[in-house]
Structure formats: C-alpha cells, structure tokens
Structure 1
Amino acid sequence: MKLGCKSGRAGRVEIQYKQSIWEHNRLRSRPWFQKDREGGGGVVRSKAKSLLGFPKPSSVGFVADVSASRRPNMATASVAFKSREDHRKQIELEEARKAGLAPAELDEDGKEINPHIPQYMSSAPWYLNSERPSLKHQRKWKSDPNYTTSWYDRGAKIHQADKYRKGACENCGAMTHDSKSCMERPRRVGAKFTNKHIAPDEKIETFELDYDGKRDRWNGYDASTYARVIERYESRDEARRKYVKTQQLKKLEEKNNNPNGEDGVSEEDEDDNEDDLRVDEAKVDESKQMDFAKVEKRVRTTGGGSTGTVRNLRIREDTAKYLLNLDVDSAHYDPKTRSMREDPLPDADPNEKFYGGDNRHRNSGQAMEFKQLNIHAWESFEKGQDIHMQAAPSQAELLYKNFKVIKENLKSQTKDTILEKYGNAANEEEFPRELLLGQSEREVEYDRAGRIIKGQETTLPRSKYEEDVYANNHTSVWGSWWKDHQWGYRCCKQLTRNSYCTGAAGIEAAEAAGELMKANIARKEAIGDMPPPVEEKRLATWGTDIPDDLVLDEKLLADALKKEDARKREVRDERKRKYNVKWNDEVTAEDMEAYRMKKVHHDDPMKDFLN
C-alpha cells in the first residue's frame, strides 16, 4: 500500500468527495445556454449539488430558478441584448430626452426620471429583477420604520407616592434620582425622615437616535414657543408707536396754539420741528426700531426692476455680460473663469456700451507697465544677467527702474550732443520775411526774352553774404574755385580763405608744387616695392640674438663645455663627493653659453637626441 493512502470506509468517502468536486467544476465550466445530455442545465447543476451534499430539489420550479439565476436579467434595459437598429433608436431617444424634444421616462410611481442622470446611476443591478425603470435602488432603503422623532416630555410626572420608599431621594422622596442629583430646594429635614411632601417621580425616556439625530442642534425644539418672543416684541413696538404718536400730537398742538411765533419760538425752530416730524426712510437706524418709517413693500415690475423703498438692499438691474448678445457666433463666454475676452457688441456705439470685453482692460492701467517689466526681465536673462521676475520680483523691478533712469540719461545726453553739434532750428531766430515769402503760387507769364507779360514780378531773396566785394587784391570771390573737395579763389587758385592774391605766379607755383609732390609719391611707391636687405646675424645657441658687445671665444667655449660635463658627472656621483668643495663664483659668458647648450628642456620633443 502506498504512503498516504487510506483504506476502508474513510478512503471511500475521500474518493467520493474528490469525484464530486471534479464533477461540480466540470459542470460549472459549461455555458449557461448549453444543453446537457441529461435534459437541461438546471438538472445537471442539481445533480452536481446533490453530489456535493446539497439538498435535492423537490420540484421542477427549483431547477428552473437555479438555471435562471445563471442567466443575465433580460428584463432590464441595460443588460438585454439588442440589435444595432434598436441600440441606435435607444441612443436617439436618450438624446431627444436630453434636448427636451421627447418626454422624460417615468418610473414605477409615475415620477419623471431626469434624462441627464448617468446610466451607471439610473440602471438597477441585475439581482434586483426590476422590470421597469426606477430610481428606488438609489434612495435610502435602510430606514427604520420604528424610528421616531419625538423628544423628551419635559417636566412630566408619572407617579406620586404617599410615603418614603427605600432607595428614593432622601431630600424629596422621588425614585428617579438620588440626593446628589436632586434639583429641589434642600430641606432642613429630608422626606426620608418626615414622610411628608413626597415629590412625584419624573418621566424617564430613552431614545435610539441615528447619526444625524445625535448631532442635530435643534432636536427637540418646539417652534411654537417662539410665538411668545414675537408677542413680546409686538407689544413693545405697539407701546413705542403710541408714545411717538402722542409726542407728534403734542408738537402739533403747540404749533397750532402759537401761530404767530409767541413765547420766543422762532421760524427756524418751527422748521426744525417740522424736519423732526418727517422721518427719512433712508436714514432709519435698524437698531432703533424701523417701524416709525413708512416702508413700502417691494413691487416687481415687468422689466425686471422694482418700485418702492427697499432698505439695505443693492438693486442690480444691469444685464449679465453673457446675455448682451445671444448670437451663437458672438464672443465666447467661459463660465469657469467668468471671462469674456472679446467684445460681445462690436458694432455698437462705444460711448453707450457699458461692457466692451475683458481684452480692453489688458492695455489699461498698469498692465502695459507690467508687460514691459516682464520683457525687460526676459531680455536681461538672455544677455546673461541673473534676473527672474517670479523668483525675485523686487529685484527685477528695481533693476528695471535703474534701466529706465540710465536710458533717459543716455537719451538726454545724445540729444544734447546733437544740439551742440548741429544746433536747434526751432529755437533759432526766425528767417527773414523775404526768404519765407520768396516763393508763391501767383501766376506770372514771361515772354521769350524773360520779360513779364502778366502778373507781378516776385522779388528775389538776397543772400546774407556780401556780394561783389573783392578783398586782398582778388578779382573773384571766395567759392569761385573748387578742387579736391575744397573751395578757393579762381583768380589765383588758392584754397586758403582771406589770403592775399598772388595772381599768375601763384598759379605756376601751385602747379610746380603739385608736380613735385606727385614725383615724391611715385618714388616712394617704387622704393616700397623692394624688400629691405636682411643682415646676416649670428644667433646664440639658445635662439636669441647675440648682443653687439658680446664676443664668444671658441677655445674658452670648448673648455666651458668640458667643465659643464664634469659638473654633471659630479652631481650624478654626489655620494663620492668629499667634504671639501671646489667651485668658483665667477661666471663668464662662455660658461653661460655652455650651461644653456647642455641644459635639458623636458618639454622639448627632441631632448633625447641632444646627447
């Protein structure tokens, strides 16, 4: 026998139990609509349940119920199988109900179902077997029918004993509390010892309140008790009205008795008394009883306004901005931010419009200044300056102010420079009237010879310079000669103003000087093309020029090279050096030349080939 196997009755029971489990799992894996060979799915499931030890079905109804429980609920509209056409009609009907074109769906009680309720809320679960649409599954169904909203009967008494009872209050004799909790006046001798004036027992009630009932502030409040408060206020108001009425009558009687202003009563006092009798509706203080003023009730009008006196209430009769233009293609209104950027009435008169869109405020006030501040921060950051508008707004604003001050200073400095250089024509003296009126639109006709035939001859403006005045023996004026971008005199061809005229000799001398200058320029250009001679010069070993006063002796240089080699050998054999040192502090030019020739440059790529 294998290990773990059981024999006898216990083994047979275990094998039968495993077979029933296997059969049950096999039958459960089949679809609900698949028929079994034995006749039906319900019979098969009942057989499986009988194998597992479930009670056997006693009637066919149970089998049908079990088989039906496996199917989805075909009565509800949300689970029933529909064709494509039926589904399309259902969608169209729902859209029509949402748009208000079709009547809303009714539930079991005849109440309309809101078509905007989502399907996951309106559709009932399959296990409720609801054949008609309803919202009962969303309503509160765990309500206790025995729950009561009654409250304690305050001050109610139930029983009054004739004598003291054991366990009762020692002070008053009631059984519902002890002497510590007694609310009556402490007696000198308690009811326990006197057996007189036994107090009745209080009515004790217990309520099982729900979550809201335990937290209700007004639980047990009787609204009818407020009638006493109203009655008290009304009686006080009535007394105040009577008092004010009597005071007004007294003042009127005094005025009628003194029609001529006797007893020192002036006209100003009478006017003050009349003003006191009139009660201003707008100045009535609420804390001093407003019923003295005549307050009319608010009456609605057809235009949406109101008539009458309404105190402490702001009447807003302006139209909402999304109702100014009901056209669908007009300005868009965002209900989330309550903003309408565009103008809803672009064609209306701007002087009559109360609202012109939110965009008009973007270029008003300090909006442009803030925009320029942001632009300055961005441009400064791109140029390498550490500035950030959101991280350090105060720093950015201060830098922008300094930038504007510097910019204005540069502008003023540039303006002053230009005015200093070119002058200011606006502030100079006015031009002569002859220059201003030298040209006109008068019609003048001339003949072939230039004589005026028709019209008035216009006076030609005269120059501000002296004309036909020859100074320093010149026969022509300054500016009659032009050469090399310079003005001069034509008579002597001189370019210096106010110079003495030299005549033809000056012209010949100027031509000779010009020819000589041209010859010198040509000679310099010819010399400049030839390269200068390069002098051969001996270079030192270390790459520099040898000074003129330095002459190296070849024999001394050879001896210096030998000494340098000996010195390097001594450096390598430093351990063999004796205590006595042989060295000379005189350094000659040959020694320096030998040192530089033997020196190893570690950065030189050819240092390995020197030795």
Structure 2
Amino acid sequence: MVSTNRHIIDKSLVAPFKSRQEHRKNIELEEARKAGLVPAEVDKNGKEINPHIPKYVADTPWYIKTEEGPSLEHQRKPESNVNGKKKSQYDRGAKLFQALTYRKGACTNCGSMKHDAKSCTERTRKVGAKWTGKYIAPDEMIETLALLSYDEKRDRWNGYNPSSYAHVIKRYELHQEARNKYLKEERIQKLEDETDDIRVDEAKADESKQTDFAKVEKRVRTTGGGSTGTVRNLRIREDTAKYLRNLDVNSAHYDPKSRSMRENPNPDADPNEQFYVGDNVWRNTGQALEFGQMNIHALEAFERGQDVHMQAAPSQAEFLYKNYKAIKERLTSQTNCTILEKYGNAASGEELPKELLLGQSERDVEYDRSGRIIKGKEEAVPRSKYAEDVSINNHTCVWGSWWKGHQWGYKCCKQFMRNSYCTGAAGVEAAIHLLEP
C-alpha cells in the first residue's frame, strides 16, 4: 500500500500565475505610472493610488480576504458601524432597563438580565434578588465591536469618561477646605490664649492666611531644572534682615542667594545683648554634631578596610555607627563594673579597707640574721604576662643563668648550647674537664 498525503489548498490564497511577458508588461506599466506618462491606478472606491508607495505596503496580506483589485483598505484604521454610525469606543456604565421585580432567567444575585450569577460583579448578597425581589440591578449595555484594532480590543481605558471622577476630586477639595478652616481657627484660638491682655482683632486674624513665610519651596538654578535645595518663602517681617545688623563692608559676609551669614556681624558687642551671632553657632549644636561624628566614623572605618561610604550608602553608615556606639557603651559599662568590683566605689559612702587607703597590711613576716624567713610568708613577687620559671629538656635552670668565657649557658649542667638536653652532674664534670688547662 502506498499512502499519500493530500492537502487542501485554498486557491484564493495563491497568487495567479503570470508569464514572463505579463510580468515585463507590469514592470513597464509601473515605471510609466511613476514617470507620469500613464494615469495612476484607481481602487474600488475611485481613489487614486500613489505609484511611489512600496510594493510591500500596497499589496494586501495573504491572511486578509478582500475583493479583487488594488486597494489600501488594509492600511486604514477599521471602524465599527453600529446602527448606521461609526463607533470605536464602548459606552461604559450605560444602562438599558431598570426592572422593579425579578424576571425569569435573570441573575439570581442582583436581578440583571445581561449576566448570570457566576459572572456577577456585585457583592454576594445574603439573600439574592431572586428570593427577595428587591434592589433589582439595571441591565447593562453589552456591545461587541468586531472591527476594532489589536490595541483597541486590549485598551482597558476604552470608553472611560474622565468627568466621572469629578465627584471624587470635589470631595477631597471640600475636605481640604474644611481642614484649612479648622487649622486657621486653632491658630487664632492659640493666639488669643497667649495674649490675655491684648485683644486680637478680626483684621489680624484674617492676615493669618498670608503668614505662609515658613512655606518650603524648591530653588532652581540650573537650566535643566535640577533643584539645588530648599529655602523659606519669606522671613518674618518683624525680624531685622541679617545684612542690616552691621553696615560695615568689612563685616561678616552675607550670601544673598542662600540668605545666610555664617560669622557674627558684631563680634565686639556684649554677648548678653546680641540677638544674632551668626549661622555657624547652629552648626555646632543639635544633630549637626552627631552627623559630623558619624561622618568621621565612616571615614575611619573605610580606612581600616570596611566597605562603607557616607555619601554612597548613608543608611548603612548610620546603622554601623549605631552598632559601634552600642558596643562601645556595653564595653564601657563592663569595664566600670569590673573596676568597681575590684576597688570599690568611693562615692557610695562605704568604708574602704585600710590597706587600700594607706598601702599597708597586717601581714607579719619575721626574718633571722641571715635573711631567712622564720615566721610568716614572704610577699609574692608579681609576675609578668610572659612565661617564667619554665624549664625544658630536664634542666633545672633557664638558659642564660651561667656566664663563662663570653658565652651564656645553663647553670645546672654548664652547657653553652641552647635547647640541649641536661646531663646533670656528668655534664658539670665534663665542662670542668674541658675548661682545665
């Protein structure tokens, strides 16, 4: 048996065969149309087709079935035709009919005829509309626009009306207006409580709307729009300007852009009468000192090999600085507790031992004429942190306890070689025999 594979081919998708002469005539006709010698080609709607359009643009794709003849309809945006009108957007939220009672075949949850209970988007009711017959939802408008483009079919904002969000904006505006009114009344009430002898008139209270000198705004210098910092909008009117405190041109420098004067404009004046002493005073108070110490800690840690940088990772640098302070405080407290446990606390009022106050003790030691101890124990000699009186290789003395002939050696066996094995009395006799002439 011989099996054959048969394929069914749609003849409408296959281009018609053209001979060499017909192909050559078509090329000559296209060149004549481009040169203007022959009128342009006309589509089925009577519109001329530009002969300079590329072939891959003018030809209809194989997957689009159109009537025979040249056309550019596949390059135009398709539009839906609903009730004789061109339409390309959905009517979002459009309702068709509002029923008063439940109808057979409607959604058992809300009562709408356009969907079933599985497709219902309303909150699931405890008792559905089918059994209560109340609060029937209106029927929605369901449209099927078949001639939409690929992007229009997947546009989730298709048919959205921005004016439907206006009530939300209105609600927030009313909330903000009420909040501003409450804050204004609170400021006026606080001002009246502080000034018991002075009555606040309504004109001054109305000026509280304009006292927004503390408002912080961005200051932009660069052409690209980058902000270089923040400044206050206005200063308090009652405050004297910094550049008016000393009119001498050689006094403290004033920067008009940042509105700062770092040095004291009147350094020779009485400190008790000076109200402004320069901006540098505030740089050495508050969190400025802590920030400087944290920056120094980051630099020292980076020099010791830790991967920390204050500008690149400020959060990491702050975390390491907090850990450093906690560990330092814990070690300091442990050291203090150890010292107090050993020597006591003089500020606590407890009576200290006499040996600590006078450097003396009641220990009694009695010696004979030769210096030997008869009674009591001699005071122990304090030892260093290094190993002492450690004998190796059967030695009873350390190396360097004997000196002879400009050489160091062991006193127990009279040997000059270091780390040698001790031979005892035999070694002493051998050394004496070697030293005899």
Rg comparison, structure with higher value? 1
TM-score, with length taken from structure 2: 0.32
Structure scoring higher RCO (CA < 8 A, sep ≥ 6) equals: 2
TM-score, L = length of structure 1:
0.23
Greater helix content = 1
